[in-house]
Amino acid sequence: MTTPNAAPPPAAGLRLPPVLLPVADDLARLEACLRDGEGIEFDLLRQLLDWVFSSGGKRIRPAMVFGAARLGRADPEAVTRLAAAIETLHTATLVHDDLVDGAMIRRGMPTLNTRWSAGATVLAGDWLFARAARFAADTGHIRVMQIFARMLGTLTDGELRQMFGRQGIPTREAYAYRIYAKTASLFEAATEAAGVLMGAGPDDIDALAAFGRQAGMAFQIVDDILDFTSTEARLGKPVGSDLRGGTVTLPALIYLDGHPEAAGWWANGSAPDADRVEGVIEAIRGDADVLAAARDAARARLAAALDALRTLPAGAARDDLEHIARFAVERDT
Amino acid sequence: MTTPNAAPPPAAGLRLPPVLLPVADDLARLEACLRDGEGIEFDLLRQLLDWVFSSGGKRIRPAMVFGAARLGRADPEAVTRLAAAIETLHTATLVHDDLVDGAMIRRGMPTLNTRWSAGATVLAGDWLFARAARFAADTGHIRVMQIFARMLGTLTDGELRQMFGRQGIPTREAYAYRIYAKTASLFEAATEAAGVLMGAGPDDIDALAAFGRQAGMAFQIVDDILDFTSTEARLGKPVGSDLRGGTVTLPALIYLDGHPEAAGWWANGSAPDADRVEGVIEAIRGDADVLAAARDAARARLAAALDALRTLPAGAARDDLEHIARFAVERDT
């Protein structure tokens, strides 16, 4: 069995977009926390942490935690632990997802399951789940832990539904639930729990939860658009992977609404042949109306997020958080 | 993909040994909680709960929770949630273990991974982990959650060590750590967290943790002995599975101490051939001295558990808990 150490990934470091500069110090503390090997006696696990966190990632979820926490006064150590819990949990789900999907590449790097056996990858993901739970418990707030556990339930429920329902074309409601469960539930937990840590009142915590949820929906819709419109170099994986893998996302839903003949290929219960799928991927990439409609859907979610946010006190911290949410939608990578 | 529903397991029901009668009502409430489908909209997940909990199991871990909680006054609802967290987590680890080990049979029933794809089994285990975390958070005590998260870290660390270190003969210390991580850490968390729920003082909580830890060590040593001495019908899997699968447990360690020529087959780094392994399994089964020495090791752990327990106030509840611990060692199944 090859250990991660046998082929160390390049240390990508953090390339912070300007919008994240207000939380740059927080994110630097987070990096140290994510890879902190204290108390880990087993070398392989320290290597695992380096491996799974070295590809960087956008750290958008922790940025939401830190940005939200700046709206009030919270213990910085507890906030860092919350951010670490959110990002570590996100990483744990990626490790298991890549295994389940047989993905070979993520963020331009080989996935863990290309290096480790399936069994070891299962256990590595479990260990990361445990580490995330530990970070969440370290905040010292039972309510944070309850938010975390509820979200974990939603996330895993969504994964199972996607696996058992992958065939065919989902309804818009099923699509919305899928991206809520997969992505927005984590954003929601991030901002809601930040509200708990700052001792916000119930209305403010609800507003922060709604802000995170809607921003997360927007973020995932943009991800689903970029899967068609971006380049393999930027995505770190082939363009059109979602549809090719049988997952029908919003751009495809919009396209298939206007192309019943193509919709029929999916609707009959078996996946269409590869050539047809490639043809639809190309058609969506070239259909400006479809892509614009999908972008509009993301912007509507962003607007809902900002409406919720604007019930909170105005100021520089709120402006910074708004910019982070806008960035999640306007990004091109 | 076959759903569990396609081949429902027999509802085994609970066959309580007399020693568990003092906590029979608690265990009945637990069963309802473990399979409670409230809030689960996805049919498949309700079926999953029925599937994984229908084979019964000994419920020894929840019995330790309930038995310990009777030493003081704790909210029964919180205690039930703690017991459900412990048993659900135990079940989640079995689901992933069976997948990792390629096990086909557990407790005489087909494992989940024989019915579901590997990917679905990974996600089902994750969903059970999430459910366990939810139960633990539902106790409303952050310290319970911290105990739970710490134990989850130990458990997954132990699984990874076992996977990467499976070749060869472990030292006694490595064996002790393995069974602590795999089993005793869960027993320890069960009784320690029960102490937290009853508002026990620090010394009593420490004593309860030590009691659970030592009883868990004894329980696993007995499991390791029964893997050699029991029958396939009682084990629900073939006799000698551990050694055949490359896991060298205490009876084998004791045997190999006295048989250097056989020890050499493992010590050279590659597993011995199947015939030699079968020969050693038969030799251990027939070696009364080896089995007695292993039993003595289990009894020494039990004695340490009872020493810790006896620092707590005497009474019927303590006697009942002592009987549960004795049962964990004296059982023959």
Are A156 and B123 within 8 A, CB to CB?
yes
pLDDT score recorded for residue B5: 42
Are B152 and A133 within 8 A, CB to CB?
yes
- Smallest Cβ–Cβ distance between A157 and the set B42, B118, B148 belongs to B42
pLDDT score recorded for residue A110: 81
How close B93 gets to chain A, by Cα (Å)?
A: 9
Whether A122 and chain B come into contact, CB under 8 Å, resolves to yes
Query: Quick one: average pLDDT of A258-285?
Result: 87
A315: pLDDT strictly greater than 90: yes
A56: pLDDT strictly greater than 70: no
pLDDT score recorded for residue A15: 67
pLDDT score recorded for residue A2: 41
pLDDT one-digit tens code per residue, A152-164: 999 999 988 888 8
Least confident of A86-90, A305-309, B162-166: B162-166
Which tokens is B248 given?
């060298």
Query: Quick one: average pLDDT of A16-38?
Result: 92
The answer to whether residues A73 and B96 touch, using CB atoms and an 8 Å cutoff, is no
Which uninterrupted H or E stretch holds B231?
A: none
pLDDT score recorded for residue B46: 85
The answer to whether residues B85 and B216 touch, using CB atoms and an 8 Å cutoff, is no
Are B133 and A133 within 8 A, CB to CB?
yes
The residue among A241, A233, A280 whose CA lies nearest residue A259 is: A280
Query: Quick one: average pLDDT of B38-66?
Result: 85
Helix runs in A107-201, H state only: 118-138, 142-164, 172-179, 185-197
Are A152 and B130 within 8 A, CB to CB?
yes
- Partner residues linked to A109 by β-bridges: A106
In chain B, residues with a C-beta closer than 8 Å to the C-beta of A123 are: 96, 100, 156, 159-160, 163
Calpha distance B318→A323 (Å, rounded):
60
On the 0-12 / 13-18 / 19+ scale of CB atoms within 10 A, A118 is middle
Whether A134 and chain B come into contact, CB under 8 Å, resolves to yes
A328: pLDDT strictly greater than 90: no
Between residues B88 and A103, the one the model is more confident about: B88
Total residues belonging to chain B: 333
**Torsion angles phi and psi, residue B277, rounded to 5:** -60, -45
In B, minimum Cα distance to A3 occurs at B164
Residue A287 identity: D
Whether B124 and chain A come into contact, CB under 8 Å, resolves to yes
The residue among B92, B82, B143, B147 whose CA lies nearest residue B121 is: B92
pLDDT one-digit tens code per residue, B254-312: 999 999 988 888 876 677 888 999 999 999 999 999 999 999 999 999 999 999 999 99
Q: Where are the beta strands (DSSP E) in A4-130?
A: 105-106, 109-110
pTM: 0.91
pLDDT score recorded for residue A195: 98
Calpha distance B187→B173 (Å, rounded):
19
Q: Which fold has domain A18-330?
A: Farnesyl Diphosphate Synthase (1.10.600)
- Smallest Cβ–Cβ distance between A133 and the set B42, B149, B161 belongs to B149
pLDDT score recorded for residue A10: 35
Calpha distance B82→B324 (Å, rounded):
18
Are B120 and A163 within 8 A, CB to CB?
yes
pLDDT score recorded for residue A34: 93
The residue among A227, A245, A246, A243 whose CA lies nearest residue A235 is: A227
% of chain A at pLDDT higher than 70:
93
Contacts with B, A 72-111, CB within 8 Å: 93, 96, 99-101
B10: pLDDT strictly greater than 80: no
pLDDT score recorded for residue A246: 85
In chain A, residues with a C-beta closer than 8 Å to the C-beta of B140 are: 142
Calpha distance A147→A195 (Å, rounded):
11
The answer to whether residues B61 and B186 touch, using CB atoms and an 8 Å cutoff, is yes
Between residues B168 and B132, the one the model is more confident about: B132
Encode A233-242: b = buried (16+ Cβ within 10 Å), e = exposed: eebebebbbb
Mean pLDDT across chain B: 90
Query: Quick one: average pLDDT of B194-208?
Result: 98
Whether B130 and chain A come into contact, CB under 8 Å, resolves to yes
Are B122 and A100 within 8 A, CB to CB?
yes
pLDDT score recorded for residue B102: 81
pLDDT score recorded for residue A7: 36
In A, minimum Cα distance to B152 occurs at A130
pLDDT one-digit tens code per residue, A244-260: 988 899 999 999 999 99
pLDDT one-digit tens code per residue, A106-139: 777 788 888 888 888 999 999 999 999 999 999 9
Query: Quick one: average pLDDT of B115-138?
Result: 92
User: What single-letter DSSP state applies at residue A230?
Assistant: S
pLDDT score recorded for residue A51: 82
pLDDT score recorded for residue A238: 87
The residue among B158, B102, B96 whose CA lies nearest residue B129 is: B96
A301: pLDDT strictly greater than 60: yes
- Smallest Cβ–Cβ distance between B161 and the set A42, A93, A131 belongs to A42
Calpha distance A141→B27 (Å, rounded):
29
- Smallest Cβ–Cβ distance between A142 and the set B124, B145, B156 belongs to B145
Q: Which of B145, B178, B247 to mutate to test the interface with A (most CBs of A within 10 A)?
A: B145
Calpha distance B304→B306 (Å, rounded):
5
pLDDT score recorded for residue A193: 98
pLDDT one-digit tens code per residue, A175-209: 999 999 999 999 999 999 999 999 999 999 999 99
pLDDT score recorded for residue B332: 76
Q: Which fold has domain B23-330?
A: Farnesyl Diphosphate Synthase (1.10.600)
Confidence band (pLDDT; 50, 70, 90) for B166?
low
